[in-house]
Amino acid sequence: MSDVLAVADHRRGELRDVSLEIVRAGRELADDLGGDLHVAVIAGDVDAFAGRLSLEGVDAIHTVDAGEEFNHDLYAGATTALYEELAPTAVLMPNSVNGLDYAPAVANRLDLPLVSDAVGLSYDGGLEATREMYGSKVETTVELTEEPFAVTVRGGEWAAVEADADVPVEAFVYDFDESASGARVQGFEEVGAGDVDIAEAEFLVSIGRGIEEEENLELIEELVEATGATLSSSRPIVDNGWLPKNRQVGQSGKQVTPDVYLAIGISGAVQHVAGMKGAETIIAINTDPNAPIFDIADYGVVGDLFDVVPALTEQFS
Amino acid sequence: MKILVTVKEVAEPADDFEIEGTDVGEQFLEYDLNEWDDYAVEAAVQLSEAYDDVEVVSATIGPERAEETIRMALAKGVDRSIRVWDDDVAAAELDVAAKTRLFAAVVDEEEPDLVLSGVQAADDGFGATGVSLADEIGFDWAAVVNDLQTEDDLETAHVHRELEGGIEELTDVDLPAVLTIQTGLNEPRYASLRGIRQAQSKEIAEFGLDDLGLDADAVASPISRTAMYEPETESDATYFDGSPEEQAERLADVLRDKGVVSE
Ligand SMILES: Cc1cc2nc3c(=O)[nH]c(=O)nc-3n(C[C@H](O)[C@H](O)[C@H](O)COP(=O)(O)OP(=O)(O)OC[C@H]3O[C@@H](n4cnc5c(N)ncnc54)[C@H](O)[C@@H]3O)c2cc1C
């Protein structure tokens, strides 16, 4: 008991960043609990992944050599089986899109309480987790009176562990018949190719739901024209079909690193910020002084875009 | 075929809000249909239009106030609704497991062939109920679905799961299944005046724990919220005050300084 089992995430032969971050989250929690950190890696070239996960703070790596890619029946089944063998106090899984697809099933199967999308964790006789609510406008703490428990951790919140170590690797045998699974992955598709690559732009003018109507986009296009910027957007603009998918910045869109990112009428939801926080200078225009985008902005304009944007365009005309 | 759509009324704080205890003060909250559920409702209604004999039933865990939101779904083409609530539910802090037990009991009653739910709720963002429910009721599932195609035998759903970084996973899911719906899957319709009128006469059945064959243990949760606060901002943002023209002038200076706009 008191151990932590953390499950790595990978796709198309690459470990995802959250796998190195979950090692840090897991180590810290294991220290609080006074136990070991076990890391599981499931499917694909597990030996290569195990080499990469052989990191400081990991006590054991469990490889599950079954299947090529993520399959939620495999992940849920193997994680459950490993849990039964190791009897840890905590199961940590990533709050990635794949995490969303299997972590709740693991918690349900094992009858574990689930805290999802944690941005902070501590244990002092009970788990205390930090989460966000209302689109990142507030933070909350939640306490758990039961153990063992399951947690999914948000990517980007813990620093990746980089220091190598010599961690014992154990193969864990889990029989899995993919053809019997009710969900079968047929392949992958890249979306969002197109005329412009917003990832290459030095200056992005990015528009969000604050624009309200498609015809108001003209206002932004005039600014883009006057400044020679490249136009990008948050997700709702693309969902509405007002701009093509290749303009979407964020977790499921593009990651951008311009010199200047001008966010107009964008609240700064975590999935958006995931795509643009690497911009050198972030400027936000928003009517809401509490909008989370201001937390990461270098310059802020609390104001109505319908007043500020035309005035800004005017400056360059 | 019967499709069950889980529909949540979510709260959104006004721009200027205050925290009272462990939540935003009630007077600062506005309520609306969860954005992700709106797409789920649309997907269900489109299936009912594409195939014969499809009934769309919505299920909500929520107080009487939620009926306003439920009527919205009814106005968009949901045939009838179920609302789960009673004093024990009201007094509980529902975690994923508790919601799973409530919805599983609704599934027992209704025996749907397909369950659609939003990827997450805009307020608490747990993002877990749909998959947890699927596992509980023994359905197959897919999370974060942004494309859905069915064949006429309705035995398999061809879905795209939207992964990170502009990559989609193409997956076949056997029905019955639970699909958690991502925004952008379709274009949710506005409720027509006729729809709004018709919605008034559609059924919203109320279910308490008793009706679902459950007791108060079903909503007991080991997870409780102990604090809420505004996050400490790490930002040292420079704010531009003044009239929009003054703000724009300062902003233009920054853009010139950074060298991204010449002139
Ligand atoms: C799995 C998953 C993946 C996702 N991937 C992405 C992604 O890749 N990219 C992405 O962007 N989102 C993504 N999202 C969605 C994300 O959670 C948010 O819903 C979205 O980013 C919100 O967009 P927004 O800021 O434009 O809209 P909102 O959150 O509605 O914000 C609009 C803002 O405009 C401001 N505003 C309103 N009127 C005005 C005005 N007149 N002048 C100035 N400001 C005004 C408001 O104060 C508000 O802050 C994803 C969600 C999920 C669950």
Tens digit of pLDDT for each residue in B189-216?
Answer: 999 999 999 999 999 999 999 999 999 9
Q: What's the one-letter identity of residue B168?
A: E
Q: Which 228-247 residues of chain A touch chain B by CB within 8 A?
A: 228-229, 235-236, 238-241, 245
> In this predicted model, what pLDDT tens digit does every residue of B143-181 receive, in sequence order?
999 999 999 888 999 999 999 999 999 999 999 999 999
Strand pairing class (B55-61; B2-6):
parallel
- pTM of the prediction? 0.96
pLDDT at B101: 98
> In this predicted model, what pLDDT tens digit does every residue of A238-253 receive, in sequence order?
999 999 999 999 999 9
CA B106 to chain centre: 17
ipTM score of complex: 0.96
pLDDT at A1: 65
Q: How far does residue A262's CA lie from ligand 1's centre (Å)?
A: 14
B244/A239 CB distance under 8 A: no
Q: Which of A231, A267, A307 to mutate to test the pocket of ligand 1 (most atoms within 8 A of CB)?
A: A267
Q: Which of A254, A266, A285, A301 to mutate to test the pocket of ligand 1 (most atoms within 8 A of CB)?
A: A266
* Chain B residues whose beta carbon lies within 8 Å of the beta carbon of residue A267: none
Question: Strands, DSSP E only, in chain B?
Answer: 2-6, 9-13, 19-20, 23-24, 29-33, 55-61, 80-84, 114-118, 140-150, 156-162, 167-174, 177-181, 204-207, 223-229, 238-239
A133/B224 CB distance under 8 A: no
Q: For tokens 């106030």, what's the residue?
A: B65
- Closest residue of chain A to B146, computed from CA coordinates: A239
- Pairs of residues, one from chain A and one from chain B, whose beta carbons lie less than 8 Å apart: 277
> In this predicted model, what pLDDT tens digit does every residue of A7-17 receive, in sequence order?
999 999 999 99
A182/B187 CB distance under 8 A: no
pLDDT at B263: 60
Is residue B120 lining ligand 1, measured as CB closer than 6 Å?
A: yes
Q: Which atom of ligand 1 is nearest to the CA of A285?
A: 43
| Cα–Cα dist B200/B71, whole Å | 7
Query: What's the pLDDT band for A180 if we cut at 50, 70, 90?
Result: confident
Look up residue B239 and give its two tokens: 């704010």
Mean pLDDT of the residues in chain B? 96
**pLDDT of B186 strictly over 90:** yes
- Closest among A87, A155, A134 to B163, alpha carbons compared: A155
Look up residue A20 and give its two tokens: 């190195």
Is residue A68 lining ligand 1, measured as CB closer than 6 Å?
A: no
Q: Which of A116, A216, A238, A272 to mutate to test the pocket of ligand 1 (most atoms within 8 A of CB)?
A: A272
DSSP H helices, A270-304, are 270-276, 293-296
Q: Which 36-65 residues of chain B touch chain A by CB within 8 A?
A: none
Indicate the residue of B130, B172, B260 with minimum beta-carbon distance to A203: B260
* Chain A residues whose beta carbon lies within 8 Å of the beta carbon of residue B119: 100
pLDDT at B152: 87
Average the pLDDT over A102-121 and give the result.
98
Q: Percent of chain A beyond pLDDT 70?
A: 100
Is residue A203 lining ligand 1, measured as CB closer than 6 Å?
A: no
Q: Which 113-142 residues of chain B touch chain A by CB within 8 A?
A: 119, 122-132, 134-136, 140-142
Indicate the residue of B122, B135, B237 with minimum beta-carbon distance to A108: B135
Q: Which atom of ligand 1 is nearest to the CA of B15?
A: 47
> B161 near B198, Cβ under 8 Å?
no
**pLDDT of B125 strictly over 70:** yes
Phi, psi values for residue B129, rounded to 5°: -65, -45
Q: Which 75-114 residues of chain A touch chain B by CB within 8 A?
A: 76, 95-98, 100-105, 107-109, 111, 113-114
Query: What's the pLDDT band for A195 if we cut at 50, 70, 90?
Result: confident
Strand pairing class (B238-239; A299-302):
parallel
| Cα–Cα dist B257/B249, whole Å | 12
Q: How far does residue B138's CA lie from ligand 1's centre (Å)?
A: 35
Average the pLDDT over A133-155 and give the result.
96
Query: Does residue B176 have a cis peptide bond before it, meaning omega lies within 30 degrees of 0?
Result: yes
Mean pLDDT of the residues in chain A? 96
pLDDT at B231: 87
**pLDDT of A62 strictly over 70:** yes
- Closest residue of chain B to A147, computed from CA coordinates: B222
Per-residue b/e over B223-239, b at no fewer than 16 CB within 10 Å? bebeebeeeeeebebee
Count of alpha carbons within 13 angstroms of residue B190, beta-carbon side: 2
Partners of residue A141 on adjacent β-strands? A130, B227
> A4 near A88, Cβ under 8 Å?
yes
> B27 near B57, Cβ under 8 Å?
no
Got the DSSP string for B62-118? --GGGHHHHHHHHHTT--EEEEE--HHHHHS---HHHHHHHHHHHHHHH--SEEEEE
